[in-house]
Amino acid sequence: MTAAGATEDRVIRALQELGFTASEGKAYVALLKQHPATGYELASRSGVPRSAIYTVLRRLEGLGLVNALHGKPARYLPIEPDRLSRLLESRFSETLDDLVAAMRRLATKEPESSTWTLQGYDAMLQQAGDLLASSEKTVYASIWGREAERLKEALAETCARGVRVVLFSFTSLPEGTGQLLSYGIPEEDLEKHWSHRIILLSDLKSALIGNAELGAETRSVVTTEPALVETAVSNLVLDITLYGQRVGEDTGLIVAGLTAQLAPIDDWLRNAPKA
């Protein structure tokens, strides 16, 4: 398949995911490539049967994706891609707002589950991005370089909002993504011993924990369960404390920020009466 053919297929698949039929996607793509065009010409170029092309064009016209230049025969023009993007964004935004409002009216109480299981690498990255976007004060994460690169833009945007972002990794990390605590070990060396994993804490209230291996088999959880969030905090405190000891860097303020909401064990021990 040529590069142009692959691009056409990608556009048609995307339109199908947005609710259009394959025939509608094919007709729009064919018209986008060469216009104006008659229904007969579009049927020949798109592969949509002549018996169906005018039904397809009427629906696309009704949805605002094509415009008919009246004549004999009628010729059609496509909406330009940027206008289509704005049109779909507006429609889907309204639909989503209506859906959320309707679901809220149906819901009688907040969901009881505070822990959700995620299946797949893409779902894990999407949830990580959502947590970053919703963070208000702090983000702490133990992450591999590959995943940090995938989340680079979201991490940079989070930093730009004034959220404190601290990333720990045994691997190298991309610049501009927060305060970096990195051993800089090549990923290919670590992969001989460990699988990719991620811990991401948002405002010390929500945690994403799990595998970060490529593919659909990756499993992770996102949780607000206090016990699980504290477990994630403890893992990060250990990693960051050991990092500071190994490289001779003072990580006390970072650890203090992580443990601010935990029980002050060290203070109790220091103030405990001597036996």
pLDDT 10s digits, 89-132: 887 887 788 888 887 777 665 555 588 888 889 889 999 999 99
Contact 198, 212 (CB under 8 A): yes
Question: H/E/C letters for each residue in the chain?
Answer: CCHHHHHHHHHHHHHHHCCCCHHHHHHHHHHHHCCCEEHHHHHHHHCCCHHHHHHHHHHHHHHCCEEEECCCCCEEEECCHHHHHHHHHHHHHHHHHHHHHHHHHHCCCCCCCCEEEEECHHHHHHHHHHHHHHCCCEEEEECCHHHHHHCHHHHHHHHHCCCEEEEEECCCCCCCCCEEEECCCCHHHHCCCCCCEEEEEECCCEEEEEECCCCCCCEEEEECCHHHHHHHHHHHHHHHHHHHHHHCCCCHHHHHHHCCCCCCHHHHHHHCCCC
Domain-wise residue ranges, the chain: 3-81, 115-261
Pick the more confident residue, 13 or 149.
Answer: 149
CATH of domain 115-261: 3.30.870.10
- The yes-or-no answer to whether 3-81 and 115-261 have a common fold is no
Amino acid 239: pLDDT: 94
Contact 210, 219 (CB under 8 A): yes
Q: How confident is the model at residue 263 (pLDDT cuts 50, 70, 90)?
A: low
CATH class label, 3-81: mainly alpha
Q: How confident is the model at residue 160 (pLDDT cuts 50, 70, 90)?
A: very high
Over the stretch 38-62, which tens digit does the pLDDT of each residue have?
888 888 888 889 888 889 888 888 8
Over residues 184-190, mean pLDDT:
94
Contact 219, 211 (CB under 8 A): yes
Mean pLDDT of all residues belonging to the chain: 86
Pick the more confident residue, 37 or 91.
Answer: 37
Over residues 214-221, mean pLDDT:
86
In single-letter form, the type of residue at position 230 comes to: E
Pick the more confident residue, 157 or 20.
Answer: 157
Report field, pTM of the whole predicted structure over 0.75: no
27-32 own/partner pairs: CB under 8 Å, 24+ apart: 27/53, 27/56, 27/57, 27/60, 27/66, 28/60, 28/65, 28/66, 28/78, 31/66, 31/76, 31/77, 31/78, 32/78, 32/81
Phi/psi for 101 (5° steps) reads -60, -40
Contact 51, 39 (CB under 8 A): no
Instruction: Round to whole Å and give the CA distance between 167 and 207.
Output: 14
Instruction: Round to whole Å and give the CA distance between 107 and 262.
Output: 34
Amino acid 182: pLDDT: 95
Amino acid 273: pLDDT: 64
Contact 69, 75 (CB under 8 A): yes
